[in-house]
Amino acid sequence: MAVTTAGSVSSLVQSLGEIPPDSIVFGRSEAMQALRDRMDKVASANVPVLIQGESGTGKDIIARMIHSLSPWKTGPYVKVNCPAIPGTLLESELFGYEKGAFTGAYGTKPGRVEMAHRGTLFLDEISELDLGLQSKLLQLLQDGQFCRIGAQEDKKVEVRVVCATNRKLEAEIENGTFRQDLFYRINVVNLQMPPLRERRGDIEDLAAYFLDYYNRKYNCRARELSADLKASLQKYHWPGNIRELENLIKRYVILGNEDVITGDLVASEREYFNPDINLDGPISLKKLTRQATRELERKVILKVLQAHHWNRKQAARALSISYRALLYKIRDAGLPPNRSSRRRPEPIANQGAAAD
C-alpha cells in the first residue's frame, strides 16, 4: 500500500510514475556517485535519513530508492508533503484521531504514521512542521510511539522515517523554528543532493531520457536536440534543477519546436542577471555589483513572498532572516508591505544606489 499527498516534490517521480534507471538518477558526477554509495549502505539500516538539497533535485526519488532497497520494501511507502496540508489538519493527517476528538470527528481515523507501519514514512519539507508537531515526531523517533488526537493511550508502530528539506535546518534552529533535538534525531545519516548546475555532465543524458519518455507517453516523434541547443543547456544556470529540465523537454515534445526551449532559456537568463552598463563612460564595478545584488535580492524576496501567499513571517523563515530584517528589505527594495497594497514597484535602478 502506498499513500501520497497532493502536490509534488520531484516531478521526475510524480509525472513519470516510476523510478528512472540508476544511470539516469546518479549520472556520472563524483558527488552523485558518492551519494549512491552512501545510500546503498544506509538503505538496510533502520535509522532515520535526512535528504537535503534545492527544490527539483530529486529528493523524492532517493527516498523511494531507499525504501525499495530496504528490508521493508514489501511494506507501505507513505509520503507526506508537509506544506501541501494546512497546519490545522496536518496533525490529524499524521497521527489520526479518535471518534469525538473534535467537531466533525464522527469516526476513528488512522493517520499516515500508522499507515506506514512496517514500511517507510517520507516527510517532505520537514521544516514546515510547527513546534508542537515536531515534539510528537520526536516521541515517535525516540520510542516508536505516538498518540492519536483524542486518545488516552499511546500506540506502538514500527516505521522507517526519511525526511527531506530544501532549507538549512541549522539556520531554522537558530531562528527558533526547528527543534535542535529533533534535528539530531532525523540527521543520523545525511544525503546532500547537488544542484543540476554542479552536475552538468549529466544534462545531456537526462534530456535524452526525458525526450524518449515523453515521445512514448504522448505518441510523438520529436527529434533529437540540436548541437546548439545542447550547448545552451550546458551553459544555463538551472534554478529549477532537474524538474525545470524535464518541463522544458516536455514542452519541446508537445510543441515540436526548439524555439520554445531557447526562448525560455534566454528569457530566464535575462531575468537572472541583466545589469545596465553604460560603456560610453567610466564603469564602476563596485556600483554595478551592488546594483545587481540588490536586484537579485528583490526578485528572490518577491518570489518567496508570493510562494508563501504574502505571509511575511513564513517568508522570513524561508529566507533564514529575522522578521524585522525582512520588513526592512521589503521597504528598501520598493516592494509593497503586503499583498493588499501590492503594486508594480519601481525598478531598483531608478531608486538610487547608495554612495560608493
Band (pLDDT 50/70/90 cuts) for residue 309 is confident
CATH 1.10.10 describes domain 285-350: yes
Domain boundaries, the chain: 2-194, 197-272, 285-350
If you count DSSP H runs as helices and E runs as strands, how many of each does the chain have, helices first? 16, 8
**pLDDT score recorded for residue 80:** 95
Query: pLDDT tens-digit profile of 71-99?
Result: 999 999 999 999 989 877 899 999 998 88
Q: What mean pLDDT is predicted for residues 279-306?
A: 75
Residue the block writes with cell 531557447? 262
β-strands 145-146, 155-156 pairing: antiparallel
DSSP-based three-state secondary structure for 74: coil
Q: For 197-272, give the CATH class.
A: mainly alpha
Angle, in degrees to the nearest 10, between helices 30-43 and 59-69: 40
| Alpha carbons 207 and 323: distance in angstroms, whole number | 41
List pLDDT tens digits, range 192-226.
999 999 999 999 999 999 999 999 999 999 999 99
Model pTM above 0.85: no
Nearest to 315 by CA among 284, 294, 337: 337
pLDDT at position 12 over 70 = no
What pLDDT does 3 receive? 37
pLDDT recorded at residue 256:
85
Is domain 2-194 in CATH 3.40.50.2300, yes or no? no
Task: Tell me the residue length of the chain.
Answer: 356
pLDDT in tens, 28-62: 999 999 999 999 999 999 999 999 999 999 999 99
